[in-house]
Structure 1
Amino acid sequence: MSEQSETEQSLDEINKSLYSEGMTDGLPVIPPTDERVEEMLRGIDRPRDDVVARLGNNENALTVETLAANAVMAGCLPTYMPVLEAGVRALADPDSNSIQFSVSTGSWAYQWIVNGPVREKLDIESSSGAFGPSFHANQTIARALGMAYRNTAKIYPGEKDMGVMGNPAKFYMLAAENEEASPWEPYHVTHGYDADDSTISLAGPNSWVQWLPSENEGEHVLRGMIRNTPESMRASSGEDLNATITHVINPYNAEELEKEDLTKEEIKEYIVENSYRTTDEYAPARHSGDGIPPRQVKQYQDTDAVKVACIGGPGRVNAIFGTSIGGPVTKKIHFPDNFDELLEEYADDVERNWVPTEGFYE
């Protein structure tokens, strides 16, 4: 935390100091003064010196107070603290493999999906542009989690973070699932939670692509899910390391799949059964001068390696996130006793008078 108030240090001086110490993501931050951190702590009912998790290969401790300081710097509201606490637990889960996709040369990102009633309470966007800029909760929650991990594990580019190219989505890829427009059970229900639970899920893809089906029918959507998966994305599940691919389907195409009476599991089965690719990389040898014919290999090895979520607004563009070398892991969000009062107090901070999108799916 900043020991001096903003009256003693200018905003520029504080940002310069924090940046020079490697405590920011390169963008300006809000100074984590004692007053601001104290206010942020109202959003969680754990003692400030509690260790939320130990992060990184050195298992550095992240306390509640330090998480609050990072939340202040990222621009969060105190009402976001329960989501942040659950997100940190996801990062600390060994199954997330977060240290690997935080430091690998492949430049992996942190991909977050939020489910349940918390989406509406905190105005976490799930419709048009949900993974893009403009939405305060989406951007600042992801930013705070990224900075908290970076500052706790002491991960700096060229030292621990060896991403060759880097990834612009590393700290800002968060959206809620558009449960109301989805014909399927929500993402978190698929992974064992109740529909009225609020959760946050973490995966670690290194890239994503957007694609448009050739025709707007269920069969063409299914084929497009396979055809538009880059060859570099491979998916298989296992105890040692999950390599998963997440298909984010827009509500229109999800509805067209539902018209074919396709469940999520049936969609996954189709992808696995039809994801064979011809490759000559597996048959470079020659025997007696005769060429060995190319082999057929599965791009998706099993259904557990395929994840499906419904996110997005009007339009028929879908997205494929992969390959994730960790998780996905999902954590339930726990709320303090004063959460409803805090929501009411900060209601004006999340209110926005933008062009509504209601009615597009009717």
Structure 2
Amino acid sequence: MRAFCVIVVTAFLLCPSSSYGLVVCNPAGQTEDGMYIDAVLEQTSGGKTFFPRAEREEIRAEGDELAVFNELFLSRGWGDGLPLIPPTPERVAAMVEGYDLPGDFAMATLAPMEGVATVEKIAVNAVMAGCEPRHMPLLVAAVEAVSRPEFDLRGMATTTNPDAVLMIVSGPIVKRMGLNAGSGAFGRGNRANASISRALHLIIQNVGGSRPGITDMSTLGQPGEFVMFLAENIEASPWPSWHTEFGFLPERNVVTVAAVEGYSGIMGIGYSRPEYLELVAQWLRGHDRPYRSAVILVIAQDTAKMLAREGWTRESIRAHLRERARVPFGDWIRQYHAAREARRGVPEEVLSITDEHAMIPKPFFDAMPIIVAGGTGEKSMIMPCWAAGRMVSEEVRLPWDWK
């Protein structure tokens, strides 16, 4: 960690007939030497988008200043297409107060353009996304997590793959912050779930410099680039909090980030334990890649309780699925013989097999997190993670006076 000083100046966009102005803070990141990420992007793209090289500006307009603000920020590439809340100095100052470090303190440097994520820059984007000040500790921890080298934000933010950052939150903070871990856990209706995830994506875009069509070359993209958030429903889970598998104590608050390509539903209604696990194994056997860094299994609480009653643990579920999700080598090599990434994560001895009937795991994966979330019912979900990056977990550090 290091201090990062920002010189604050004011720029004015003047209209002769304007009667009042809206002062807003700049959400764009700067490199360590003080160059704005937008200036670097202009050089990269060859395009020109006017923006003041300043930390604050006054927007003057007749009529609907909120509409003018949104149009201006979207034209600069600072929005995500949804309406933004103006990051006024007062709102930003209140957001900074949600954390216990000064606004100019640098929490991380974010790829792909190496923008410095100070507490204030995180706060500006948090305001725009609709966060509350009490959301800051969780958001800061997520920013630190995506900056870790093993997550590979540079690769995820620039790939042609349809990846988005999934935030997974576990620990007492889920209840204390009012996160939705129950019915519709992935869906709409909860401010914290939606705004914190949205803010993280805006920070990656504005501070890190991941811009669609310029540095972010995702062929199709995905809606998870707006919001992709999951809170563990520990109160409904028959197993210990899932972050304990990574060495964290149960009472700790942990945020995990993963680059996921999407999700697929697994309907377990009326299925017994072996039938349900076979559904998951079939999905794995039909998967399109030979290797994944992780495959996340989100199990609905009713199904999890059924499995636990029969003595199944997370580890025994993983072991069973690894064994059942196998295909004959002849089928495996016919599917992957031309894949450039076929060797990534695949044991060398597999590629030298000559027996086409030998059973090969599909896909190979380093980790299979099993998380209980959602309301009652038996609708589970499986989420494949990007092959190149790794999941990263970060403990959420709460200020002593956090409410």
TM-score, length-normalised on structure 1? 0.85
Counterpart position of 1:332: 395
Shift of 1:214: 6.3
1:315 aligns with 2:388: no
- Say which is worse superposed, 109-118 or 211-220, in terms of deviation: 211-220
| 1:136-156 CA-partner distances (Å, limit 9, x unpaired) | 111000000000011012111
Say which SS state the counterpart of residue 11 (structure 1) adopts: helix
| Offset of residue 234 of structure 1 | 4.5
CA deviation vs aligned residue, 1:71-117 (integer Å, no higher than 9, x gap)? 00000000000001000011101111222122211110111110111
CA spacing shift, 1:338–1:4, aligned 2, 3 Å: farther
Partner of 1:100: 155
Report the Cα offset of residue 191 of structure 1.
1.4
Instruction: Name the residue aligned to 2:235.
Output: 180
Written as runs of structure 1 = structure 2, the 5 A alignment for 1:335-350 is: 335-340=398-403
Shift of 1:301: 3.1
Mean CA deviation greater in 209-218 or 78-87: 209-218
- Which residue does the alignment assign to 1:260? 310
C-alpha change, 1:120 and 1:233, in structure 2 (3 Å) is farther
> Unaligned regions of 5+ residues in structure 2, if any?
1-24, 26-55, 338-354
1:141 aligns with 2:196: yes
Matched, 1:280 2:334: no
Q: What whole-Å deviation, never above 9, does each CA across 1:182-202 have from its counterpart, x for those lacking one? A: 011112111111111111111
Alignment partner, residue 166 of structure 1: 221
Q: Tell me which residue corresponds to 2:77.
A: 22
**1:21, 1:283 → 2: CA distance?**
47
How far 1:277 sits from its partner (Å)?
1.9
Letter in 2 for 1:320: I
Answer yes or no: is the 8 Å Cα contact 1:282–1:295 preserved in 2. no
Q: How does 1:20-99 map to 2 (within 5 A)?
A: 20-99=75-154
Q: Based on CA coordinates, which of the two structures has the bigger radius of gyration? A: 2
Separation in 1 of the partners of 2:231 and 2:334?
44
1:125 to 167, 180, 186: 180
* Secondary structure at 1:262 match in 2: coil
Among 265, 268, 288, the alignment partner of 1:232 is 288
Inter-CA distance 10–220: structure 2 relative to 1 (3 Å threshold): same
1:352 alignment partner in structure 2: none
TM score, norm. by length of structure 2: 0.77
Distance 1:277 1:151, change over 3 A: same
Offset, 1:4: 2.7
> What SS class does the counterpart of residue 324 from structure 1 fall into?
coil
Q: Which amino acid in structure 2 is aligned with residue 319 of structure 1?
A: M
Residues in 1 aligned to 2:288 and 2:250: alpha-carbon distance in whole angstroms = 34
Give per-residue Cα distances to partners, 1:114-169, cap 9 Å, x unaligned. 01111111111111111111111110000000000110121111111111111111
Specify the SS of the correspondent of 2:204: helix
Cα RMSD for the two superposed structures:
2.2
SS in 2 for 1:272: helix
User: How has the CA–CA distance of structure 1 residues 197 and 102 changed in structure 2, closer, same or farther, with 3 Å as cutoff?
Assistant: same
Distance in 2 (CA, whole Å) between partners of 1:98 and 1:188 is 22
AA at the equivalent of 2:333: Y
Query: What is aligned with 1:354?
Result: none
Tell me, in whole angstroms, the C-alpha distance in 1 between the residues paired with 2:380 and 2:232: 13
Residue 250 (structure 1) aligned with residue 300 (structure 2): yes
**Any conservation in 2 of the 1:5–1:33 contact (CA below 8 Å)?**
no
Percent sequence identity over aligned pairs: 31
The size of the alignment, in residue pairs, is: 328
Q: Cα–Cα, structure 1 residues 170 and 294, in superposed 2: closer, same or farther, change >3 Å?
A: farther
Question: Which residue of structure 2 lines up, in the alignment, with residue 3 of structure 1?
Answer: 57
Write the letter of the residue equivalent to 2:66.
L
Measured in 2, the distance between the counterparts of 1:157 and 1:189 equals 37
Amino acid paired to 2:247:
G
Aligned partner letter, 2:392 = V
Tell whether 2:349 aligns with 1:298. Answer: no
- AA matched with 1:269: A
Cα deviation for residue 3 of structure 1 reads 2.7
Give, in angstroms, the shift of residue 228 of structure 1: 2.5
Q: Which runs of 5+ in 1 are unaligned?
A: 237-242, 286-291, 341-362
Return the offset for 1:220: 1.7
Alignment partners' CA distance in 2, 1:133 and 1:169: 12
* Shift, 1:224, TM fit: 1.6
Which secondary structure does the structure 2 equivalent of 1:320 belong to?
A: strand
Q: How much does 1:217 deviate? A: 2.0
Q: What code does the residue aligned with 2:380 have?
A: N
Q: SS where residue 228 of structure 1 aligns?
A: helix
Tell me how far apart the structure 2 counterparts of residues 283 and 139 of structure 1 sit (CA, whole Å): 42
